Chain A
């Protein structure tokens, strides 16, 4: 096969809008997701910008309190349900999971396409709600505020999330079946790349957790529309029950968001150290352990909710168990560097950023799991800072690491390395400047979701807003140079990084059915002796 421009691959095999909207190719569907979530990322980012501008001054003078409440609600809904949850699994997982296990496609390509349409349909409802006037319940939809008192587009938004939930469920289902049944000959479970393991664990959460969110939304829906009394204390209903149901999904959902990112980091760290990930089995099983343990800790969101003290004790205790597999991952990634051959391309810089920020995000999670500290810092900016360290410092860093890492494979072009390194640096600095002051703000006692605040909190808020503008530049740059590289980027070879995964054994961009012939796997993942000499080349 000659590497000329005429070589047929998944991008040029067919043309036209219809060939994309009706495609069953997991790679094209991955790109459809990429467009969708990028849209929502910038919508959510626009809301974030307004939030940070509003908080520049303590008085609450840029927008009204009502508008502010809608802004933070819609920021969270756009970012969590329509960007973060689909981000790595539905884009990079969709594109690479089948290739990495040597399959021609996912087990159910049509369901895969349906999943994307469901996300779009759900997103359309959410967008409609946003344009029509928004919703002000907070993304947590706590009852009885959301069922009785809120006057925004609660139903439309909830319906959007409900529909998008099925997209998530079906993607998880598809991945699980694919991993179980579609592996290439020789691709045993313990030869699978850790990215596949991470997505497998994520899929477990998606299929087990998301249905509970769905039924919670159903109850919210009937309560709001028909006023049945399920969450209404005046009729004997229990508003706190909603919180239990909600967090039963929404805590594990945190791991839906961060686990795939951990998978990306394992790939990147290994590739740019040219070493197998230290303690492969531990890292693989820690993903599954996080997925399982994640279901047992939801009550740590309810320490001050009037939940019984005994329940608080149990949930606090269990929460510390999640720390262990997370710690294992961080230590093992670091240990992978030992005696490696480390190079500093952009994906690796993002991976370093991820490890550092996730470490801080994870450690501050321990603060929140401690009953004695949580009663002070829960519902303050400490929580806001903590989950942004995990979600933005963790997941988005990993997403960018993955996008840079696999960009040559997806498009067949290299991104401009210098610009990318610069933007990675800007993101890292901007991120810390934005969110680190919020830890201090939180311990000082600034409650979250405050439109106006006492003046003594202003200095730290100004720092945070300054950081956010730096961060915004850091996020806009990849948009520009990725687009630029589509036409002007250097043409990428099949394996520009000297990586080991099966995705690097096929051409860039891959052919329609991924491989010209089904690969037969004979080595463990990350066996660099198979690449050395033939493909590692002077870059």
Chain B
């Protein structure tokens, strides 16, 4: 049976010998999970690459209909949230309970702001009839025969940003859980693995957006329509 002589942490699971092994496993597990996420988004990016290759001009024109300023603003918000997440991890390393809670709350606020702005953007698309699959879909500046290709751009836009937003929502749920645990005082300088691992996930979701933003918003800003 596992020997329970390890008293330095509250939460050493029976299958592990040392706290270090437990932390290693969690971190490695998250990295591998992120690899699966890369493959997941990779499939999307592959579809995007192929269709952009097929219809480069339509993609460029459709891209200009997105609001790059709002996109850029959202990018900044997300980068800020990554910064506050780093600070939360740092606070965890130092075992500063209150700082952990504070930084996590800030991260949550920035993440929520991102999602809110994203929602506004999507709403605009509805108003402008840029929803693929709708009968009244119409993208200005394109002849009727190219509207189908524009729909493919918006299909990819919604699928990619939608899946990204879904990951953000999951991340927000994770932050809330971390917050509740942090308020209970679960974390200390000796045990902050969940914050660390949660941070990895949050940064990953951030990085995905760093790819999405130029690919969707900035294809060809100087294009004359």
A residues with a Cβ closer than 8 A to B are: 98, 103-109, 111, 169, 173-174, 176-177, 180-182, 207-212, 214-216, 218-219, 222-223, 226-230, 232, 234-238, 241, 245, 248, 512-513, 516, 518
Contact = CB atoms under 8 A, between A and B. Distances in A.
Contacts of A518: 17
21 contacts: A105-B14, A173-B36, A177-B28, A177-B29, A207-B39, A209-B39, A210-B36, A211-B36, A212-B43, A215-B40, A216-B43, A222-B155, A227-B133, A228-B151, A229-B132, A229-B151, A229-B152, A235-B149, A236-B149, A236-B152, A238-B54
Contact of B152 (A105, A180, A218, A228): A228
Contact of B40 (A177, A211, A223, A236): A211
Contacts of A235: 148-149, 151-152
B148 A107 contact: no
Contacts of B33: 173
Contact of B163 (A104, A209, A218, A236): A218
Interface stretch (B4-12, B44-52, B173-181, B213-221): B44-52
A230 B152 contact: yes
A475 to B, nearest CB: 34
Contacts of B29: 107-108, 111, 173-174, 177
Contacts of A241: 47, 50
B37 A211 contact: yes
B149 A106 contact: no
A114 to B, nearest CB: 13
Interface residues of B, number: 40
B43 A207 contact: no
Interface in B1-40: 1-2, 13-15, 17, 21, 24-25, 28-29, 32-33, 35-37, 39-40
A169 B156 CA distance: 25
A103 B15 contact: yes
Given A230-B155, A232-B148, 14 more contacts: A173-B32, A177-B32, A211-B39, A212-B40, A218-B159, A226-B133, A228-B133, A228-B154, A229-B152, A229-B155, A235-B149, A237-B148, A237-B152, A513-B14
Contact of A234 (B24, B51, B148): B148
B25 A208 contact: no
Contacts of B73: none
B149 A513 contact: no
B42 interface: yes
Contacts of B163: 215, 218
B126 interface: no
Contacts of B1: 512-513, 516
A107 B155 contact: no
